[in-house]
Amino acid sequence: MSALTLGFIPLTDCAPLIVAQDRGLFAAEGLDVALSREASWATIRDKVAVGALDAAHMLAPMTLAATAGIGEPAAPMLAPLALAVNGAGVTLSNRLIHALPTGAETPQETAMALAGFIAQGRAAGEPPLTFAVVFPFSMHMYALRYWLASAGVDPDRDVRLVVVPPPRMVEQLRTGQVDGICVGAPWNTVASRGGLGRVVLRTSQFWPAGPDKVLGVTAEFARREPQHLQALLRALVRAQAWCDAPENHRDLADLLSRPEYVGAEADVIAPAIADELVFHRDGASVPRLEHARWFLDQMRRWNQIGPEVDAAGLATAVYRPDLALEALRATGLATPILPAPGPLFDGKTAGSA
């Protein structure tokens, strides 16, 4: 068997890697896989870049940023598989919820109420609110910015954004170090059920079937080990199909709840599996070029990249739907790819490009 080490962060959408290991799907493809639970997205990026991890559960925009060398030496990467869509959200602390005007129920209403509160605080000379995101290049960062900007909040001037690893988000909310978090499942549910705040936006409301995580590999690994990469993808798409089946949802929540995986109670993992996350159906496994282009548009909008970056060339170099489709056809799991609607909020306010 061929030995591979795959990294993951303790989030519900790491499920395809966990299931492929637990159910022997990697072994069936001749792969001897070791899973490595990592502490942060920066660690994942760096270990994949230097070859300490052969592949990993990764934030989709991270593969683009790493390839472009934004803030770090360039490490060309590929996204040959989308691992899941949906699953993230914004939770505001109880203190902030109680300070907002009553009657704000929808994400848009809450954003407008938050904008008014922020304006009042700025006029009174109060320090800005602090929101935690998981990484500078993430769906979480861009969804939070887009949502705030849709109400006229400038995320670079009116609030403070800090990076916190997903498993530490709940503690940051509990201790009052942040006023809100934008993180993936199950940590919003852990926070809300723990009485620490209220979920005010789910990314599935912001962008139904919107992108989030991918499998990330270096371009060098894909060039050097094309057969191993396809074996890895075949095992993972089979795992994704298993994850989507309703009859498997309880077993999946129980599996992920183990301390070596997500380490949260099965009852707080289960809701996102049942109601939000999609791993395979409707073409969810396929990394979509329009998703890559949207991420790059956001990077440009928020001054993470400049006009010198060839966004179109970068998108097609990193996002490889052809590799996912090859694995899906080989396993007989190819499905029609449904059109993906774009974000719901217009975003044509503060900081728009």
Predicted pLDDT of residue 344? 80
Closest CA to 229 of 84, 330, 350: 330
Predicted pLDDT of residue 347? 44
| Non-local CB neighbours of 15 within 8 Å, separated by 6+ positions | 84, 239, 243, 252, 256, 273, 277, 279
Query: Looking up tokens 């304006």, which residue turns up?
Result: 119
Which pTM value belongs to this model?
Answer: 0.95
CA–CA gap between residue 298 and residue 41 (Å, rounded): 19
CA–CA gap between residue 280 and residue 271 (Å, rounded): 18
94-140 residue pLDDT tens: 999 999 988 888 999 999 999 999 999 999 999 999 999 999 999 99
292-313 residue pLDDT tens: 999 999 999 999 999 999 999 9
CA–CA gap between residue 262 and residue 249 (Å, rounded): 15
Which residue stretches of the chain have pLDDT < 50? 347-353
Closest CA to 191 of 97, 260, 86, 275: 97
Burial class (CB in 10 A: 0-12, 13-18, 19+), 99: middle
CA–CA gap between residue 126 and residue 70 (Å, rounded): 33
**Cβ atoms within 10 Å of 311's Cβ, excluding its own:** 18
Predicted pLDDT of residue 302? 97
Predicted pLDDT of residue 346? 54
Identify the three-state secondary structure at position 258.
coil
Query: Which phi and psi (to 5°) does residue 141 adopt?
Result: -60, -45
Q: What angle do CA 224, 228, 233 make, to 5 degrees?
A: 120
Contact criterion met (CB below 8 Å) for 84 and 75: no
Contact criterion met (CB below 8 Å) for 338 and 176: no
Predicted pLDDT of residue 74? 94
Q: Quick one: what percent of the chain has pLDDT higher than 70? A: 97
Identify the three-state secondary structure at position 276.
coil
List the alpha helices (DSSP H) in 175-259.
187-193, 203-206, 219-224, 226-244, 249-256
Query: Looking up tokens 């203190």, which residue turns up?
Result: 95
Predicted pLDDT of residue 316? 98
